[in-house]
Amino acid sequence: SSGEMINVWSNKLFWGDNKLVIFYLLSKFTDKINLIYIDPPFATGSDYILKIRMDGNILKEFGYKDNWGKNLDIYLQMMYERLILMKELLTSNGLIIIHLDWHVSHYIRAILDEIFGKDRFVNEIIWYYYNKYSAGKNNLPRAHDNILIYSKGKSYTFNEFRIPRDKPVKQLMRESVNGVLKNVKDENGHVKYRIVHDKKADDVWRIPCIQPASSEWTGYPTQKHPMLLERLIQIGSNEGDLIADFFCGSGTTLHVAEKLNRKWIGCDNSKYAISITLQKFLKQRVRNSRDNDFYPIELLAIKNEKTLKVFNSGFFNKTIEILRGK
């Protein structure tokens, strides 16, 4: 292949309120999305200021604003309204993955139990980010996030994911004889072993936070490690499936989805998030153009519940660099 665009489908990147975006999508994408991953605000009340270089000027702008974290009731209502709508977009065997932390994971789990049903709970994954600790004199350092997985239906896509063992182990070799598992033996009657270097992943994942030295680093304050998204997308979907992220930030979910040959829909309310996402795609596609075909990207903006505007703003053609520091 030569990196030519495949014109049957266009990946979609929306700039705007995700509630309006989801309303728009309901008309065409009800029961169509295989996997939804969201990394919403954690209701901390924190706003992140980005120090940005653009057109030779250094600016300070809100890159990420927690409009709801200062009032828990408002935050939970915001999430409830959106989760109900997201459920309608999922296929009957689809999954939703919600990335949270200790602030609100217990509240959101109760909401998910109500919307999806307690019996649709699949897993709570603990992401242990061992290279970043929050300081605290009166408590233990916090070093994990909570990732909740729920299914829409009784049956759902869930692929085994294997990870390297710390040390290889010996396992007895087994074979089925008339439907009964028995140990495999050599010609001398001795049981045979195999050396196993990997194991099925459990629900505690030891993955570092992404660091500024990484080639994947964008400077976006809530950016997650691509390895985390690779695991989640591979477990919860198959090649060719449609993935959505309605709080897409710097676009890690979308970039990983494309790398894994999934189609995608993304949305964010920050024009800087949209710009960073597009820049990363441009670099990623230039780097991989000889290896992969890719779908075109539609850049869209929602003005209100009934109007869809194809957005072609010069702003998104400008190179933006997020600078370290405040």
Q: In this predicted model, what pLDDT tens digit does every residue of 119-157 receive, in sequence order?
A: 999 999 999 998 776 667 888 888 999 999 999 999 999
Residues 23 and 155 in one domain: yes
Q: H-type helices in 30-177, by residue range?
A: 72-89, 105-116
Write down the pTM of the prediction.
0.83
Instruction: Give me the domain span that covers residue 179.
Output: 165-200
Q: Answer yes or no: is 5 within a domain.
A: no
How do 47-54 and 320-323 pair as beta strands?
Answer: antiparallel
Q: Answer yes or no: is 3 within a domain.
A: no
Of the two residues 234 and 1, the one the predictor is more confident about is: 234
Measured CA angle at 12 (ends 115, 40), to 5 deg: 40
Q: Answer yes or no: is 1 within a domain.
A: no
Residues 315 and 185 in one domain: no
Band of residue 17 on the pLDDT scale cut at 50, 70, 90: very high
Could you tell me if 185 and 191 are in contact, meaning their C-beta atoms sit under 8 angstroms apart?
A: yes
Residues 139 and 79 in one domain: yes
Axis-axis angle for helices 72-89, 18-29 (nearest 10): 20
Q: Answer yes or no: is 141 within a domain.
A: yes
Q: Answer yes or no: is 59 within a domain.
A: yes
Residue 137 three-state SS:
coil
Task: Please give the C-alpha separations between residue 302 and each of 15, 80, 259, in angstroms, as whole numbers.
Answer: 7, 21, 27
Measured CA angle at 90 (ends 241, 235), to 5 deg: 50
Residues 244 and 190 in one domain: no
Residues 239 and 291 in one domain: yes
Out of 233-237, 245-249, 265-269, 289-293, least confident range: 289-293
Look up residue 289 and give its two tokens.
């153009």
Q: Answer yes or no: is 6 within a domain.
A: no
Comparing C-alpha atoms, which of 170, 169, 235, 165 is closest to residue 198? Answer: 165
Average pLDDT value over all residues in the chain: 84
Residues 141 and 268 in one domain: yes
DSSP 200-215: E--SEEE-PPP-TTST
